[in-house]
């Protein structure tokens, strides 16, 4: 154990002044703390939580999974020999999460998509122990947001704050249902803002906080000291499987914008501007002879796109979008991703040393679909496409017939084919070139947050 040592050169006099200064510091800190909060003799978050916690709900889901009763019955020969139909039994998977009531009149609850994804039944438990089956209103896997609805009266909703006014160091409180324990509260500060490029979601603009967020907190509320919603708790960085004080929440402004689209359409109808951008590195700043290092450079403009019609060119430096100063390339993708088809975008660019203002219209995404059997016999009953989005491209599985060979092998709608026979494929011609001369297809699949291989032969 380390001990404090007083230098003998200064003797007892120095020790006296150290103690005196220490007592003065303690008195100064104590004087800055409130003596009472709502009549309580000590500072407490309880008055805020009394109003906020009833607006945070626990969510449990059930998913019915069909499994074969007998593995031998998977073989068509045995089924035909024994003249037995394919027998199946149901197995249930369950999961836990949280949600936030954001409209007490309509019973609307905001949560994460991964909390309710693939659920056959969604059960909501309120803080007063009432339980209701919820209806799915809409979901957006790209941003991990979903809206559900319950037929309940006397609900408490959380007021929503403007998350753009958050500052690093602001105090925050996380409310959720970690590990199925029931409502739990943790506190901390805003550690960082605008976190992107984490690979957690397709669209990222996270609030980072050191308030403890654990499994089951997903979809819960991150609130300020006024009891206002500033974020939806979504993920943690956990290298060793535990909480290390790095949690992420979707900002309330982003979540509410997505909520409006989900309530109106049941989905988020994202459009396309038609540009690819990249961050400004020191080398690019020097090459473009830039005086200020902020923004993102356009590396490609798609032919026939809204960006081309508006006059954007490769090499343009985007300084701002809709009056928001651009710090990096992912920020542009997030801004465009929150807009609807037909919305106008005001873009300030730097071209040849001069600032220009350009107006563009968000267009419809271009989609090209093709039947799988035209590429390979094992893909019969599969419809494939490439949806042009500003992300790492792959081959999208649009449709899989439930009785097809590909379905039985494990291919599902929504899967992204990243590679075939260990060759990276980004376009349908890429896929056809690799597959046409092969008897067997080794597909590297991305499904949500998971990636795995499927063999078709």
The DSSP-derived string for 336-378 is HHTSBTT-EEEEEEEETTEEEEEEEE-BPPPEEEEEGGGT-GG
CA-closest candidate to residue 172, choices 238, 242, 257, 231 = 231
Pairing of strands 441-447, 416-420: antiparallel
For residue 270, give the 3-state DSSP assignment.
Answer: strand
Catalytic residue among 98, 114, 205, 376: 114
Q: Is 144 considered catalytic here?
A: yes
The DSSP-derived string for 90-142 is EEEEEEEEEEEEEETTTTEEEE-HHHHTT-SEEEEE-TTS-EEE-EEEEEETT
Whole-number Cα distances in Å, 307 to 310, 354, 359, 361: 5, 19, 9, 8
45 vs 353: CA distance, rounded Å: 53
Query: Phi and psi of 102, rounded to 5°?
Result: -115, 0
Q: Is 114 considered catalytic here?
A: yes
The DSSP-derived string for 186-253 is EEEEEEEEEE--SSSSSS--EEEE-S---TT-TT-EEE-TTS-EEEEEEEE--TTSS--S-EEEEEHH
Q: Is 52 considered catalytic here?
A: no
Catalytic residue among 52, 60, 212, 218: 218
- The most distant pair of C-alpha atoms in the chain lies apart, rounded to whole Å, by 100
Catalytic residue among 144, 210, 316, 430: 144
Residues labelled as active-site residues: 114, 144, 218
């Amino acid at each position: 154990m380390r001990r404090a040592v007083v230098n003998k050169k200064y003797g007892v006099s120095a020790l006296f002044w150290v103690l005196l200064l220490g007592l003065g510091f303690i008195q100064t800190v104590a004087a800055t703390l409130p003596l009472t909060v709502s009549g309580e003799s000590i500072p407490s978050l309880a008055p805020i939580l009394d109003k906020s916690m009833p607006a945070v709900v626990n969510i449990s889901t059930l998913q019915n999974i069909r499994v074969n009763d007998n593995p031998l019955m998977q073989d068509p020969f045995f089924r035909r020999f024994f003249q037995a139909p394919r027998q199946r039994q149901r197995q249930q998977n369950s999961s836990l999460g949280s949600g936030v009531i954001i409209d007490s009149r309509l019973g609307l609850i905001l949560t994460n998509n991964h909390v309710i994804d693939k659920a056959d039944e969604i059960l909501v438990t309120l803080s007063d122990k009432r339980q209701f089956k919820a209806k799915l209103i809409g979901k957006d896997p790209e941003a991990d947001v979903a809206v559900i609805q319950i037929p309940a009266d006397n609900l408490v909703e959380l007021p929503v704050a403007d998350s753009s006014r958050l500052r690093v160091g602001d105090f925050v409180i996380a409310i959720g249902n970690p590990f199925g324990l029931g409502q739990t509260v943790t506190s901390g500060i805003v550690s960082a803002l605008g976190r992107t490029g984490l690979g957690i979601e397709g669209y990222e603009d996270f609030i980072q906080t050191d308030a403890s967020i654990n499994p089951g907190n997903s979809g819960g509320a991150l609130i300020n000291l006024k009891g206002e919603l500033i974020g939806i708790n979504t993920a943690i960085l956990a290298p060793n499987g535990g909480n290390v004080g790095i949690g992420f929440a979707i900002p309330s402004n982003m979540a509410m914008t997505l909520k409006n689209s989900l309530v109106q359409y049941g989905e988020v109808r994202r459009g396309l501007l038609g540009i690819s951008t990249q961050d400004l590195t020191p080398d690019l700043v020097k090459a473009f002879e830039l005086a200020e290092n902020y923004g993102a450079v356009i590396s490609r403009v798609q032919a026939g796109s809204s960006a081309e019609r508006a006059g954007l060119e490769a090499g343009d430096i985007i300084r701002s979008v809709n009056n928001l100063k651009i710090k990096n390339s992912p920020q542009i993708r997030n801004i465009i991703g929150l807009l609807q088809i037909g919305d106008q975008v005001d873009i300030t660019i730097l071209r040849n040393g001069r600032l220009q203002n350009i107006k563009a219209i968000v267009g419809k995404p271009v989609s090209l679909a093709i039947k799988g059997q035209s590429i390979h016999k094992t893909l019969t009953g599969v419809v494939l496409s490439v949806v042009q989005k500003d992300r790492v491209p792959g081959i999208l599985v649009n449709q899989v017939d439930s009785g097809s060979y590909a379905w039985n092998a494990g291919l599902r709608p929504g899967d992204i084919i990243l590679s075939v026979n260990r060759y990276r494929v980004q376009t349908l011609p890429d896929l056809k070139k690799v597959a046409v001369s092969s008897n067997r297809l080794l597909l590297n699949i991305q499904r949500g947050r998971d990636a795995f291989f499927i063999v078709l032969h």
